[in-house]
Amino acid sequence: MAISAAAASSGTQGGTKIKTSAAAVFALVFGVCALVCALTVLLSPAALVLGVIALILAAAGLAMSRRPHVTGKGVAIGGLVTGLLALIVSGALIGGGATVLNNRSAVDRLDKQVQKLKDKLPNKIPGQITTK
C-alpha cells in the first residue's frame, strides 16, 4: 500500500493516525544519556543503569513498532545501539579502573608520578606578594 506525500507528512495513513512508539523514543533518550554518562568516566556506574533501561525500552519499542499504525523501528534501533555502546564503554572503564586501583604497584607508580609533578611545581607563584 503506497502512502501519498501529503498523508506521510501529516502522520495519517488511510484516515488513521500513525504514532511513533513512546518506548522507542525513551530508549533513544536513555541510550544517549547513558553514552554521555559513560564518556564522563565518573558517571560510568550511572551509565550501566541507564544503558540497561535503554536496552529494555528498545526491545519494547521494537515490539511495538511491529503493530499496525505504529512507527519507531529506527528510533528503537538507535536506542539499542547507544545503550549497548554505553554498556560496553562504561564496563570497560569500570573494569579498567578497578584493575588499576587493585594493583598495588600501579597505584605506587601513579603516586610517584604525582609526586614528580608536584616537585616540578614552583614554590612561589610568579607575581605573588610575600609578606615578612
pLDDT (tens digit per residue) in 96-112: 888 877 888 888 888 99
pLDDT (tens digit per residue) in 6-51: 444 446 666 678 899 999 999 999 999 999 999 998 899 999 999 9
C-alpha cell at 89: 564503554
In percent, how much of the chain has pLDDT > 90?
A: 58
DSSP letter at 11 equals T
Q: How many helices (H) and strands (E) in the chain? A: 5, 4
The whole-model pTM stands at 0.69
For residue 61, the tally of other CB atoms under 10 A from its CB is 28
CA distance 51 to 128: 49
Query: For position 89, what pLDDT does the model report?
Result: 95
Q: Residue ranges of the domains in the chain?
A: 19-120
